Structure 1
């Protein structure tokens, strides 16, 4: 892994974003993106093969979902969440829309009383559609905040910054972080220590983890937050079986397994 070393501009249809070095960046007049996890291809392949061997040799076979969330994987997952079968998306969106003001007050009241600004950090941000509901509520309640979407996919971060800019313009200060969740969370805490952190982990994403991995991840989140920080996490309490045939068909025909295939040089 290596950090982004150069500063470049991303400019599309009136939208400007700055790629910054991996250090604090406090000029929020333009959306910014910091790349913390810029993988070396050979190192990424070695890590994948090691994790694959470990997962296949385990009693309970597994492979980290991180390997599927490259740019293509992020696009595909966004499509899957729009399916009728994928009920968590609409269910969670309904909860956020109906209770956004109450949720925001619960998350930020303590920090506001202490005179702190809010660092709103979305882990595994994806396209951020549901988070925009909370951004609207924060603005409506005159909360001073900065928005930090964290995602392993650079393309997902860029698309989210476009979405936020189109919807909110300069009203929302946003700094995207390309990194895995814990790495991004730790970096924000270290570089923006003056703010009170509110982390979001939505979409029942925790359900993608095996039990021990979920415990380990949540312990890592706790270590990466300060005392008094908040975490809003979505859980699927129904666990209704989705239509595996349709989801698998879309996954295979859309190249969902391409990250694995590329490692083994399987033809596309």
Structure 2
């Protein structure tokens, strides 16, 4: 087993400070990258999708649960599987208390192609409370490129065609018996009853995601911190993600984070707009 080199405390401190400078540079670069993500344009989702949840049929708008943003975790669970993907399960195991995310106007939900009758017992076995919906019978998984079947539509994963994957050495993503499931995350924003797709990430794009802040970093509104760019995204959604805005998960006000629209015409029509901390 190759272990780290043994050195004196002074030598270790010197090496640690050199690494710290690189870590700080990486943090600043990540902030810049997150700002570019928030500047992405968005596409209106006008196709009707029907999901099945614990309370019956649901639309994509219903998945927001009254909040302004939705993050969908595309959980790999095919209709004929007895259990969900182990790696996807490991991801869900790492998710913290959802109240912190909800307080920032953001709902996290899992969506799988397996019927609800298979999802429900597996969810109970895992002890999860994350909202989880079945997209069985709809085009949702195909349209967002997490179920690949070229008899339904041309294959594309992580914004690459099969030929591009072969050239990049990642053909394992697109080769195999079809249909097959792959992981991903998709973010949506709503203005009243209008739903917009803002971002999707696939493959290793979800490697470092799981905490409240890392999930918010994928969204159009971000962490809703005053230092974030572009300016004007920090709307009054009820709570901000900075240290002053974080509370114990049982101390958030009822309904905080549930908003009706963000005003795509440039105005701020969010519930609680102008709220101070």
Q: Would you say same fold, with TM above 0.5?
A: no
Q: Higher relative CO (CA 8 A, sep ≥ 6), structure 1 or 2?
A: 2
Higher helix share: 1
TM-score (norm 2): 0.24
TM-score (norm 1): 0.25
